[in-house]
Structure 1
Amino acid sequence: MAIITLTTDFGEKDHFAGAVKGTIYSEMDDVRIVDISHSISPFHITEASYIIKNAYKCFPKGSIHIIGIDSELTPENKHVAILLDDHYFICANNGILSLIASEIKPEKIVEINIHNTVETNFPVLDVFVRVACHIARGGTLEVIGKSIESIKYLKEIEPYINSEKNQIIGHVLYIDNYGNVVTNITRKIFENVGKGRKFKITARTAKFSNIYNTYSDAIDFKQDKDKREEDGKKLAIFNSAGYIELAIYKSNPSTVGSASTLFGLELRDTVTIKFES
């Protein structure tokens, strides 16, 4: 049974997500639909890129991923279908697959060209669904599009490394449901540049000189519970996706606060790592 996933900025209030699912089932009843997220911030390509990168790999090879973010067809925003890492992605060519494509080269890319057979002002419903069902039936990409060599790549997803190799300048890539702040600095980049040197991470007024592997690593459980620093403790970790994340231990934005609010950090804010010479 084919798996089709949905990632959109439609939210839960409106009919859009339900309409897309209904149209898929009308096209083929022998399919499984999985929601990755419909709560992407409106038109937020880098946020979607981060979520998709870390979700798609958990699905079986051959899964089909519809991405409905900034998907209106324009001369500068063409639609593409891509075979990448043995998964199919259907989306606008707006850089949304940058985080995946920066590490894994697409095996095949086509620019979708079936629009003249469809009247639509809702391309996710009328175009992306048709392409996804075509693939799910075993159809090839060449039937629904013309081959192209590359997709748009967002350069801002990569942090800047100075010529002296003692500083990384990154930014906030994503803020999760707990208010934890994910930077665009990966563990691989950090270790390649740092080479074991001491360092300081600065993000506005927050500073860190250690990076933990888990949240609980930051807590000294040898101390009595009433003496140890827990709720509200600030920390930096390498998160499960391999990115440096700035967090508050057991953060709750409505009680102890979150990294985003307490550090005053928003999307695209600067995060700097300075290494000792």
Structure 2
Amino acid sequence: MMDYTLDELMIATMAHQFSGEVMVSSVTAFGALAALVAKKTHAPELAVLATPESGMEVTPLPTLTLGQFLTDVQRGIPLTMEEIFDAIFCDLFRIWINPAQIDQFGNVNISAIGPWHKPKVALVGSRGIPEDTSHLSQIFYYVLHHNPRSVVSRVDFRSGAGNGPERDQLLGRSGAPSLLVTDLGVFTFSGPGGSMAISSLHPGVTAEMVQERTAFPVSGLTDSVAVTPEPTAEELEIIRTADPLEVRKLELLSGDKAAEKFVAIYERERQALHVAWPARSRI
């Protein structure tokens, strides 16, 4: 048995979904590492996008403060936002989206928690998700804390469309949810009416645990379902080499633990920048 952590299991699982000559976004640490693992193992044809300014065909390296420096050094192929949206409209774009809420039919929310007119929490807004969920043939989601507040019966605000009569009438199948990876398992949307269904349970997770932490019945949920494959030694090496400071773990932490980890990573990056920047004659 390999020695691995939950974040590494999830990232390797996410990486397995990428394939083909498509542009892959790397806006989160989990998404960036999944793209990198895929490109270095089974999908070398992927074009990895960092930011429009730094372009694509870069090696995504999770970081708090060095993003522009690292991608500038690589000199990726520059892109405009128009070109990125062209890729979306032509179904040549893939992304792992981390919603605040996802419901049983794959509707997602990254806009607001609570009533729209008086939300408890204001989030980043829908951004490009409406375009993604109306044009792409594959839509991937990941949730780091599978509980009834994040995997809900009904989202507070619909940033991206899931399955249901409205999709059938207005959007068709393009943009329908494909897969959800959480800290408990892997799920499809192949249940009745396009509802969430179990695909595999992570090692050590039971069907009872999943149902207790989900706000609705999960289709096909039994302890006899498949177990999520463990990451390989090669996948673990890629993840750990690309993210030695474990920036990815910030997505799993909160409160004081997240603050302590943030400060530690920031100080290490600041020290690294002082070493690297003069060597490139940029001060």
- TM normalised by structure 2 equals 0.28
More strand by share: 1
More helix by share: 2
* Bigger Cα Rg: 1
Greater relative contact order (CA < 8 Å, ≥ 6 in sequence): 2
- TM normalised by structure 1 equals 0.29
